Amino acid sequence: MSDRTELLRQQMKLVGISSFQLLSDRTGLSRRAIDTLRKGNASTLKYADLANLAQILQLEFTELIAKFINPLDSSDNGKTKISKISDLHEEYQRLQQKLENQQQELRSQFERETIQHLESLLLQLPSAIYAAQNNPHMLAKNILPLLKPLDVLLQKWGITAIGSVGEEINYDPQKHQLVESSDAIEIGNPAIIRYVGYAKGNILLYRARVSNKI
C-alpha cells in the first residue's frame, strides 16, 4: 500500500499538528511536497526537507524514511535515491558530531585559559578576605594587587572600563545611568561615577552608574 496519508495523520496527531496546512506552515514544505510524502515518495524530496520533517514529526531520520518510502519501489533509480539520502544523513550526523566536539573543545579551552589568568586571584583572594575579616586593622589596599589578573583578562578580551569610581564626568545617557531615579541631571552637566561601566569596542556592555555632584 503506497498511500501514507493515515500514517502521516497519526504521526501529526502525536505532535499536535491538526492539519496538512499546519504541517506545511511548521515545516516550510509546500502542500505538493506533503502530498508527495503522503504517496510514499519521500525519496524524491530534498534531504533538508526530510531532515526538517523528521524533527517536526519527532521521528528519527531513518524511521521517517522507513515509514514514508514505498518499499515496492524496487527500481534502480528509487534505490539510488534512497541510498543517496542515507549517505547524506550519515554525512550530516558526522559533521554535526564534529561540530559539537569542536564547540566543546573551544569551551573547555576558554575555561582553562580563563582559570589560568585568574589563578592568583582564585587562590589568594579567599585567604585575603578571611584575613581582613579577622583583622580590622588590615588595609583594603593590601588586597588591590590581587585584582590585577582581572584587569589583565578584561584587557585581553578587549573590554574597557567606562570611567573610574569618583571621577567627575559630563553626563551622557548613552554611556551613563542614574543611580537614583530621583536624580535629575541635564545632558552635559557634571556628574560623579559611582559604579564603572564596560564596553567592548563600540559595543556597550554596561553603562556607568552616576549621581549628582555633591
Does the pLDDT of residue 81 top 50, yes or no? Answer: yes
> Is residue 128 within 8 Å of 146, Cβ to Cβ?
yes
Q: In this predicted structure, what is the pLDDT of residue 175? A: 92
Third-level CATH fold of 160-214: Nucleotide Exchange Factor Grpe; Chain A, domain 2 (2.30.22)
> Is residue 124 within 8 Å of 147, Cβ to Cβ?
no
Does the pLDDT of residue 16 top 70, yes or no? Answer: yes
Q: Which of 15-24, 44-53, 95-104 has the highest mean pLDDT?
A: 15-24
Q: Return the domain boundaries, the chain.
A: 5-96, 118-157, 160-214
Does the pLDDT of residue 154 top 60, yes or no? Answer: yes
Q: Which whole number is the average pLDDT over 132-147?
A: 77
Q: In this predicted structure, what is the pLDDT of residue 130? A: 76
| Element spanning 191, H or E | strand 190-195
Q: Which residues pair with 43 in a beta bridge?
A: none
User: What value does the mean pLDDT of the chain take?
Assistant: 82
CA 17, distance to chain mean position in Å, is: 28
Q: In this predicted structure, what is the pLDDT of residue 1? A: 46
Q: 46: which 3 cell numbers?
A: 530534498
Q: 83: which 3 cell numbers?
A: 541510498
Does the pLDDT of residue 174 top 70, yes or no? Answer: yes
pLDDT confidence tier of residue 107, bands split at 50, 70 and 90 = confident
- Spatial neighbors of 171 by CB under 8 A, at least 6 apart, are 185, 186, 187, 188, 189, 190, 191, 210
- Taking the C-alpha atoms of residue 152 and residue 2, their distance in angstroms, rounded to an integer, is 67
Does the pLDDT of residue 66 top 70, yes or no? Answer: yes
Of 26-35, 89-98, 105-114, 176-185, the one with minimum mean pLDDT is: 89-98
CB atoms closer than 10 angstroms to residue 27? 19
- Taking the C-alpha atoms of residue 177 and residue 88, their distance in angstroms, rounded to an integer, is 53
Residue 210, helix vs strand vs coil: strand
